[in-house]
Amino acid sequence: MNQLDRLKQYTTVVADTGNFKQLAQYAPRDATTNPSLILKAVQQADYAPLLADAVKQHRGEKLDAIVDAVLVRFGLEILKVVPGRVSTEVDARLSFDTACSVARAHHIVGLYEDAGIGRERILIKLASTWEGIQAARILEHEGIHCNLTLLFSFCQAVACGEAGVTLISPFVGRIYDWYKKTAGDRWDEAANAGPNDPGVKSVDKIYTYYKKFGIETEVMGASFRNVGQIAALAGCDLLTISPELLAQLQGSDAPLPRRLDPARAKTATVHAVTYNEASFRYALNDDAMATDKLSDGIRVFAADAVKLEQLIGAQK
């Protein structure tokens, strides 16, 4: 049994890619996408016809509507390969606008439903800003399930749980990146590996809190830099993994024991907390890493959304 098969014993494996032609060999249950992954995919020769066809079918519509059509077109292809759900992201430029995020989510879900895909197979991705979390609260009440992304802090996770969000995606690798860069020459890789990795520790804390208090929101570790981070989170509800790291797991027969366990989490000494808007914003602001990485993530996704629009605009 290889490491990927071992991981699947404890954790739902999700593929983190827009390249749906790579998916079948790893047999993930779900798949996640984001503007950066879709932008990367549409620039490959294999996917250029798909982009051209989506643009042709929606020619004459507003640019943002065509972008959504392209994202959904990739999602539909992914759903032909995976048996579970696909995550499709709302434009990051709407991260601080609850009403517009809800409207954009409705449009995306409508495109899927027009193609015969039920809501149970769709996760709407929103940034874990206060406004994004409130948009998710509204959507969840409507039966539209959400994946809250760009999550770097404990307060974001608690607020998502309180909002009844279906799933969160804490970003392991980007947390690791920040602490490594901040430490500079003082960084000790060996001392900060495995369960001591700052990104791993963040997910472990969130997972323990959710299981301790019976919060049903699923935890899906994301943004991995190496298989060691993945191994340290074996047992997490879900892990979304790039094809490159899936291949490494599949190619190794090294042991991969369970690390996170709900029964053990229930015995942890943890105190319940709650956040309103003011305390949430203060807690997030008080976490320099989370503040930096949330802002940076929104900027990066927004920039790639603009590049995708430019590619589409050139074909209109």
Residues annotated as part of the active site? 125
CA pair distance 313, 307, nearest whole angstrom: 10
CA pair distance 22, 246, nearest whole angstrom: 10
List Cα–Cα distances, 246 to 4, 199, 226, in angstroms: 7, 19, 10
Q: Which two tokens stand for residue 156?
A: 């974001």
CA pair distance 11, 261, nearest whole angstrom: 11
**CB half-sphere exposure, 262, CA atoms < 13 A:** 12
List Cα–Cα distances, 38 to 25, 91, 278, in angstroms: 20, 12, 35
CA pair distance 144, 139, nearest whole angstrom: 5
Do 38 and 17 form a contact (C-beta atoms < 8 A)? no
Residues 6+ apart with CB under 8 A from 127: 92, 95, 148, 149, 150, 294, 297, 298, 301
Long-range contacts of 178-186 (CB under 8 A, 24+ apart): 178/289, 178/292, 178/293, 179/289, 182/289
Residues 6+ apart with CB under 8 A from 63: 309, 312, 313, 316
CA pair distance 224, 240, nearest whole angstrom: 8
